[in-house]
Structure 1
């Protein structure tokens, strides 16, 4: 293992460690946004849902362009501009006093994330050898969850449910992250992959590259429903626990659940990845979708902490199955010259995260937090709609790889 870790590019380590600290500070603040808007600003569940959802909507609209632009002008420029802009967005959050300001800030938050993250993942793919890509992608995912283990608890004690001060810390950390990236890009400039000298395709042609991919298109649609289910954890569930009279101090319970989610990821990720790597990545997505849908049902059924925490563990296993193999699957499908496009286009599945807080907010407004099953059963069923698309993708990928093997043998 030490030998493999030494083979990882220093810039890749910067991204992995920066991701850990970035998620640490954002999980101190962003997950509590829906609680803050409901409790402090007095926003309705629907207003809160729309304000939280706009971040994902902005990401859906821009993520493809971020990946496309990074393929054409280079990862360095795109990453540096977006990371420093992201720092500025957190300072806007910290000074906001009105719902419309939070709406604008969260829109910009989604834009910056949707440009920076697919570009950073494409760069990881660029600078990592094929035999180490699974390791690097999973180190990045582990870094995300290592940050999230402590972020919500720190946020709880900093009063994130009632204060915007934690956003100041987020902004400062992202400034440091940007400065370290700047130094690293300068140090390793000569070793980075060069831009292609071929003519840049139009945006229409670039988008057609992915939509014509019959496997990728089904994966995109199927994972949109997975994102729909995943999005309820940080939006609908947070509001539900805060509003449900049965639970005392719902924000504290939610922060513990958020940390349990991250701890569970760190515990189960390695054995799951060791097992899942022997099968098609799409099989992991299918099982993950089933577990997300089942855990949403249990959230609505739970009347005590024990079942809530069991539901979190099941939810987390589903999350790991979905997201640890996602980057590997995209890298496996994409052509080398189009990786930025593919990593950007898969961001359209965040449309599910757009719909999640809106649907959840509407159901909470309609049925109230006292009727958990009426809220979460429809959400679970909507999540499960991704299964047929993922199954079709699985069959198409098997067929494609079988044809490629026949072609290689005949050649």
Structure 2
């Protein structure tokens, strides 16, 4: 393991370290946005859902363009411009006072995130040998959760549900992250993908999108994970609103749930990934979908804080199975030329993040927090709608793998690793 860690490219270490502090800063503020809007500004659950969901709505389109353009002009330009803009967005969050302002600013938040994230994942793929990408993607996911362990607790202490101060902290962190990237990009410029090279046919967006959309494995994965992401997104929209409206200490318990979620990811990630790597990666997505769905259903039947935290353990298992293997799966099926495009296009599954706050907010407005089953049973059913698409993807991946194995003579298991 020591040798593997030493061989990781410095740019990859920069992204991992930046991810830790960036997610710590973000989780101090963004997860509390729906509570802030509902309790401080008096916005209705549905309109809160509209404000929360606009970030993902913008991100659906921006993530594809970000991945595409990074293939075209290089990772460096996209990452530096987006992270500088992101720091300014968090300053605007801290200064905003009206609901419409939060709508506009959260749209810009989604734009910056969806340009930076797929490009940074593509850069990790660029600077990491194929045999070490599972390790690096899991390290990135672990870094996210290291940051989220402390972030919500710091946010609670700083009053994230009632003040904009944590947004200023996030702005400072992302500004420093951008400066560090600028230094590292200059130092390792020769290792960067700089875009389409001279004499190489330029990538065109229509061609790139057609390549991804006609992939018989990628498309059912994309459609299936829309519903998976929809289930996950309720943890940042419907669940905190329900808790804050139902319990006097709802905000505090939501904070503890976020911290428990991150700690469980760190504890479960490597054992679960080691187990999941023995099977088709699509099986992880299916299992993750089921865990999240069952957790959401159980959430409607609980009434004490500690039980909500225990339920979050099951939710976290589903999250780990879903998100740790998704990057590996996309890396596995994408052509090298279109790697950034595939990572960007999978961002269309954030349609689930758009639908979840709207659907959950509408259910809360219609039935209220006093009828949890009427809210969470429809939510659970909407999540499991993703399973048929994932079953189709599993069958097609198995057929493709068997065909390649027959042509090359390589073992099927080696092709899946």
TM range (shorter): over 0.9
> 1:194 Cα shift?
4.7
Q: C-alpha separation between the residues in 2 aligned to 1:205 and 1:104?
A: 32
Contact 1:22–1:147 under 8 Å retained in 2? yes
Contact 1:298–1:307 under 8 Å retained in 2? no
Name the CA shift for 1:76/1:194 in 2 (closer, same or farther; >3 Å).
closer
2:219 alignment partner in structure 1: 217
1:273 alignment partner in structure 2: 273
Q: C-alpha separation between the residues in 2 aligned to 1:85 and 1:58?
A: 15
1:230 alignment partner in structure 2: 232
Q: C-alpha separation between the residues in 1 aligned to 2:46 and 2:97?
A: 19
Contact 1:68–1:340 under 8 Å retained in 2? yes
Does residue 143 (structure 1) correspond to residue 134 (structure 2)? The answer is no
Does residue 254 (structure 1) correspond to residue 254 (structure 2)? The answer is yes
Deviations 1:381-403 (A, max 9, x none): 00000000001100000000111
Q: C-alpha separation between the residues in 1 aligned to 2:373 and 2:300?
A: 5
Deviations 1:320-357 (A, max 9, x none): 00011111100000001100000000000000000000
Contact 1:296–1:376 under 8 Å retained in 2? yes
Does residue 331 (structure 1) correspond to residue 325 (structure 2)? The answer is no
Q: C-alpha separation between the residues in 1 aligned to 2:39 and 2:303?
A: 22
> 1:409 Cα shift?
3.7
2:378 alignment partner in structure 1: 378
2:67 alignment partner in structure 1: 67
TM normalised by structure 2 equals 0.97
Q: How does 1:361-372 map to 2 (within 5 A)?
A: 361-372=361-372
> 1:10 Cα shift?
0.3
Does residue 308 (structure 1) correspond to residue 308 (structure 2)? The answer is yes
1:120 alignment partner in structure 2: 120
Q: How does 1:187-198 map to 2 (within 5 A)?
A: 187-197=187-197, 198=200
Q: Secondary structure at the match of 1:8?
A: coil
> 1:199 Cα shift?
2.0
2:209 alignment partner in structure 1: 207
2:341 alignment partner in structure 1: 341
Large movers: runs of 4+ above 4 Å: none
Q: C-alpha separation between the residues in 1 aligned to 2:249 and 2:162?
A: 13
2:295 alignment partner in structure 1: 295
Q: C-alpha separation between the residues in 1 aligned to 2:349 and 2:68?
A: 16
Give the unaligned 5+ runs of structure 2.
411-417
Q: C-alpha separation between the residues in 2 aligned to 1:205 and 1:76?
A: 23
Give the unaligned 5+ runs of structure 1.
none
Deviations 1:297-328 (A, max 9, x none): 01111122232122100000000000111111
Q: C-alpha separation between the residues in 2 aligned to 1:8 and 1:287?
A: 30
Number of equivalent positions = 408
> 1:61 Cα shift?
1.7
Q: C-alpha separation between the residues in 2 aligned to 1:391 and 1:199?
A: 36
> 1:139 Cα shift?
0.4
1:55 alignment partner in structure 2: 55
Q: Secondary structure at the match of 2:152?
A: helix
> 1:228 Cα shift?
0.4
Deviations 1:223-277 (A, max 9, x none): 0000000000011000000011xx2221101000010000000010010011111
Contact 2:72–2:203 under 8 Å retained in 1? no
Q: C-alpha separation between the residues in 2 aligned to 1:358 and 1:342?
A: 27
1:33 alignment partner in structure 2: 33
2:241 alignment partner in structure 1: 239
Q: Secondary structure at the match of 1:43?
A: coil
Q: How does 1:67-86 map to 2 (within 5 A)?
A: 67-86=67-86
Q: C-alpha separation between the residues in 1 aligned to 2:305 and 2:36?
A: 23
Q: Secondary structure at the match of 2:19?
A: helix
Q: C-alpha separation between the residues in 2 aligned to 1:57 and 1:200?
A: 28
Deviations 1:189-226 (A, max 9, x none): 01224533322232221111011101000000000000
Q: C-alpha separation between the residues in 2 aligned to 1:263 and 1:142?
A: 10
Q: C-alpha separation between the residues in 1 aligned to 2:176 and 2:113?
A: 17
TM normalised by structure 1 equals 0.98
Q: C-alpha separation between the residues in 2 aligned to 1:307 and 1:255?
A: 14
Q: C-alpha separation between the residues in 1 aligned to 2:169 and 2:231?
A: 30
Deviations 1:18-55 (A, max 9, x none): 00100000000000000000111110001100000000
Q: C-alpha separation between the residues in 2 aligned to 1:220 and 1:104?
A: 27
Contact 1:34–1:49 under 8 Å retained in 2? yes
1:132 alignment partner in structure 2: 132
2:413 alignment partner in structure 1: none
Q: C-alpha separation between the residues in 2 aligned to 1:66 and 1:333?
A: 19
